[in-house]
Structure 1
Amino acid sequence: ALDAAIAASNENQVGIDLELATAQESFNQLEAALLAGIAEEKETALQVEQLGHETIELLQRLSERNSRKEGLGRRKVDLVGRIGKDQAEIDEIDRLLSGQQSQLRALQEQLGEVKQFKLDLVKQSDSIFGTILKQREEQKEAEARLAELKDKLAFKRSRLTSLEELERNFEGYKDGVRNVMLKRSQLDPTSSIYGTVADIVETESSYEMAVGAVLGEKLQYVVVKSQEAGVEALQYLKTQSMGRLSCIPVELRDEGDEGHFPYGEEQGVLGPLKQFVRVKGDYDRVGQFLFGDVYLVQNLNRALELWNGNGHRKTLVTLDGEVVDPSGVVSGGSRESGAQAILEKKREIKELRQQVHELEAQVREQASQVERCVSRIQMLEQSLEALKRDSHSEELKIVHQEQDLNHLQTEIRRLTERRDKLSLEISAAMQEESDLVQEIQNLEAEVLGIEERKLELQTRGEAAKQRQLDLRHRLDDLRHRSFEQKSKLSIVTEKKSALERDLQRMVEDRGELHRLLDERHVSISAANQQTLQLKREIEESREKLSQLVVEIQEREGQATALRDRIQALKDSVGAAEVTLRQSRAQLETVRQELHQSIVSLSEGRTRVQVLLQQILERYHVDLAAVAPTYAERPIDREAQAAQVREMREKLEKIGPVNLGAIEEYEELKQRHEHLDKQYQDLVQSLDALQRALQKINRTTKKRFEETFETVNKLFQEVFPKLFKGGRAELLLTDPENILESGVEIVAQPPGKKLQSVSLLSGGEKALTAVSLVFAIFIIKPSPFCLLDEVDAPLDDANIDRFNDMVRSLVDKSQFILITHNKRTMEMADTLYGITMEQPGVSKLVSVQLN
């Protein structure tokens, strides 16, 4: 039935398609005719509209051209008047420019001359400043050299003073010699004691060891006028028990020449030692006695060779201080500190005196050079200051002339620009006038063309409107016919759509039925296969279940047998564990007893060893060696105990023995010597420090007195200037002790009595303090002076005098004043202010008043 319905629907659809094709063709023909008519009607309407627009545009253009023509005529009249006015202004500008350009050339010549002069001043200033820098470098070098020389001189003087002090105290000499030399002014008023041998003997450093070795103790011999004077000194020492000394009278007995020394420089002999020694004054016989038979040789080997030659009876000495006397006795070894130190000290004192003298001359010369440098720098600075003032004056001239020149150039430039602008305006106006004439002529010709075009457009517009009316009637007829055909086409189209929808629905129902039928066949086939598979699995599961039941019964029998066997083993293991615990407890008891026995044995052996060792250390008895002797003897322990107590009491009475007493004594002795030496050094340093303090106090006192007098004098001059009268002075509270004294200010302003500054008013105190500050400042001015609200307590009259004083000191220093006073601000060259335009934000504002 469904297939038959589908076939009938297909036949109806064929008939409807033929009817629809016929209706569609008729509608298409009408639609094409309608579209062609609409297009033609639109084109005609567009032509009509375009002709209307062109006509309106022509009318507008005609009106604009007429208005433009009238405006151009008025513009032409205005241009002629403006050209005449601008030409008159150009003539006036030419006259002004001629005069100002002449003035400009004169100013440029003057400015060039001033700038050249300023440049010359700058070059001179730079040259002088460079010279000042060089002179300051030379001054620094000279001052550094002077300080170095002073330090070196102070060190040398200190060393010389120490050595001279040691020499005056005869340190290093024997007690007898030192006591006699220190008391010789009392012992010998007639000056019969001249000094020691070391005082009259001098030699070079290379021969000091030889001379010291030969003289030895003779260096401490005292040279006297006669044997009687020596006897008096010996008697003094003997009476006072103050040591021993040896005396050499000046008038010694001449023993004559003991023979010629047959060796010369070729045999290693440098010559008689007296050739290398200088003996002071009239002590030639003393020198002959000391060095007459002594010859200087190169080394000890050569000296022994010469002595073995047996050709002389001279004393031979080497440069290293070995001595071979006529009898063959050889002396030498390491250097000794006695005689050698005396000679070295004498030589060092002489050298230090010479060095101190030379250093003093160098210090004087260097100080003079520093003063010359300072003087030259001051002269150069004065010249530089004068050049700076001249340069500043020239700078002001240059600034003023440049301002005048800039003003003149600005005026000339303004006039020139104005003239050029006027010229351009005249040229533009003339060109515009010419253009206006040409444009007016063009407008007249264009107006004629527009009139002709207007007539033509009016004719064409009327023809287009008539044709547009005919096309509209035709389009209305075509639209009516097209609407009727379109309605018929819609009805046929709707029938076809309904038939197609029914046919599509029936086809879809037939497809769905076929699909469901196929799905049922597939499901039935799969269910049959699954049923067969489940039957096979059930049979296999039944067979496996029977086998598992049999196997479980067998495993249960085996498990019962195993449980019985495990229980039997547990019982036997429990019994074995009880027996094992008992055996272990017994073993542990035996081990503890064995360990205790071993410990007791070890302690006993240790005590025996300690006792043996103590007996050996305390009584020096080896018990192992003496034990057999006392093995058979009876022991009386009470008697032995009493003997031990008695011996211990004796030891206690003796007391402990200090075996390190000798070493402690030596150590304390060295410590005492070291401390004694340090004490002597401290005493000497304290004396030197006291002298230095005294010198510093003298210098400080002198400088303070000079400075105080100078400041007081200037204070007495400055005070009346600031107060317009009155007087003031500085007084010391303790004139007898200047270094500890205070300073009191006594002032008498005009109209008041003399009184302490503490009794003055606030303004008077401030002005008095300013007077003192300026007095000190005049003595030694600094490059900068900072005054912080000094004028705050002053009235207007005092502020004027204060400003006058500051202005008088400006040539020496640059003043920086912190002030709120307008009068003080008026005096300044530059003002700096701090303002706060926004909260928390400070801003610096400066004003150059010069």
Structure 2
Amino acid sequence: EKHIVERDIEQRTTSLSNLAESSTAEERAIEQLRGQQFETVGREASIRNQVSSSKELIGRIRAHVERLESEEATARTQVSDVEIQLNTAREEHSGQQAGFDQLKNQLHAAEETYSKYKTGHADAVQIAADAKAQEESFRHRLQTIGELAVQRAYSTECVQRFFNHTRSLDWSPLGILADFVEVEPEYESLVEDFLRRELQYVVVVDRAQAERALAIVKDVSKGRLDCLVRNGSRTPELPAPIEGAIPLSGVIRFDDRVSHFSESIGDAYIVDNVDRAWELSERYPRCAFISRSGEVVRGHLVSWGEPEAHGPLSLKREIRELDRKMTMALRRTATLQEYAAGLDRLVKESESLKARLSLELQEAEKAILNSDHRVRSLAADLDRAEQRLTVTIAEIARLVEECEEAERSLAGHEHELVEIAARKADVDEEIQSRSERSEQLRTQTDLLRRDLAGLQSQLAVLEERRSTVTREIGTLAEQAADLEERSNHAETQIQQSVEQQEQTRERIRSLEERRRELVQERDRLDEAIVSATTSLEQLRGELHEAESRWDETRGLLDSWKDRHNVLEIEKTQVDSDLKHLSETCFNELNETIESVCLNFFEALPPGELEIQEQEFRGLREKIDAMGAVNMMAVEEYQQAEDRFQFLTSQHQDLLDSIRDTTQAIDEIDAVCRRQFKEAFEAINAGFTQAFVHLFGGGHGELRLLDGAGEADAGVEIVAQPPGKKLQNVLLLSGGEKALTALALLIALFRYKPSPFCVLDEVDAPLDDANVDRFAQMVRDMSEQTQFIVITHSKRTMETASTLYGVTMEEPGISKIVSVRLN
């Protein structure tokens, strides 16, 4: 019975598959036809819209052509009238231009004369001002160098402090040795470098003054000070002549009061080069030989030093040179000022003649400008009228051509609509026929499916009956075997339980003894912990007091540094203001600030002074802006007026754009701040969680730095590993820094996940415990992110699902090797 039912099911299944294939083919064909139908309908709608648009366009073009033909007739009449008016205006303008040219030639000759005198006067004034500026420059430089000489700026710090102190006393030394010597310019740098220390000797009258000077150094200025006692009663001995060498004392001229110092340098000579110095030092080992390049050879000792840019000798030479230049500048300034005064008289005379001719020319120019303006206006009107006529004719031709093109396009669209209607009817008929065929196939399929379902139910009943009998037989056999096995197992368990009971009793006795020992050990450890805690609290108190004292000292130092910086800034501002006042006095008053300070001026109230300065600047700007008389001022005014109107409209547009842009920026800033706050809070929470997981405890957080807005504030990472106090991340060890960075990376990934993440030996500074926590974190995050980890740690490798070995057998060439896991 089962085989008969299975054969009937197979026949029904084959028939059902054939019907399903036929039905699917029909439905696929119907879908294709419907797609064609939809395309045809869409195309028909599009063409109908184009036809409607073409008809509307043709109507608008024809109405526009009629309006343009009317405008063409009006434009032709306007061109004729403007041509007549333009010819009349040009004849009047020619007559006025002849008289104007004659006056213009006379004025041109007067202006050339005036310009020549004016240019000569301006050049003379500028040259005189330059000479005056050069004179002031020399004076300021001389004053500055004089102050440097008085303050001993090029002396050692000890010498400067010594002279600064003696200014407040009733006694002062004669000066330093550099004040009493003169050196030939050729050897100045050599002498200054060789006698760098000796030139700082303080010259005193006698031994008592020397002892007094040394006492000042010991008590006040500190450092080292050398004193030279004046002695002009003895003539120094001349140095021994050496062939090829110049005695150093021969190029230095000493004052009579310090002439005895030349004996100290009697063994010093100047030679041409260092080779010559070595040669002479072998013959005269007790003498010093100075080459022109700066090397000093004495016996077997040679030395050289970088020459100083400035020194006391160069300072004295520069003062003498400035005195000479100052005298020449004073003479040149006086001569140039007399020449400028003579040119100023000639300028005034030529200016009066030019003013008279300018008035006559202005009257003639007004008449010409009026007629010229009328001519240009009429010419512009004529150009506009002709341009309007040309544009109208071209527009009419273009519209006629466009209308013809639209009519041709309309005819083509109507013909295409007829073809589309025929295609749509054919598609509808074919869809109808295929739908009927598909319905018949669907009916036959339903009948076959009902027969197949009945046969399948009958087969299932037979299968169920057979399987039930088979299961009952197997169950009875299994129960018998199980009962036998359970009986044997129960006897074995009874014997084992008796043995385990004895072992457990023995174990309980040993654990009780171990518990008593541990209780005693715990009591001893509690006492040790209490004593260690007391000592720790004392140390913490001492540390807190030391930190408080350190903070107070550091605060006091910072306050003094701030005060010093404020004073430096005030000094710079005062110097800048003084320089600005000096330049302003010279540019505005043509006088130095010293001469202005010598004069007396009545002080104005602050409010009135500001009003007077504003009025002065306004008048000065107006005079500079006026320049020469512009003959085309009327025309330029009209152009400027038009340009002003255009720029005004553009300015308003810019203001509107700025307002809109500012509003958009404010909105963007608000969104940015909100998004930043949300992101920061989410990342901070993720960082705290990841930090605790990786460190196995502790605390970590992100903080915004103070002193900045929320949008541009910096972010500080604060970490507290287990067993340590809260501190900045920069104070952590290498491994702790690596774990903290990983915690931040994980927080960023959780806020904005990425499909891939590459970690290059991040576990190198970590110990085994931290590597395990890091590997567990990677495993947890691998569900959302694909990790590529480069590592040498075996514990990290155990976490990976896939391993690749990379080696470099040859320099610069890497390759992948197989990795076998055991």
Please report the TM-score for the alignment, with normalisation by the length of structure 1.
Answer: 0.34
TM-score by length of 2: 0.35
Rg (Cα) greater in structure: 1
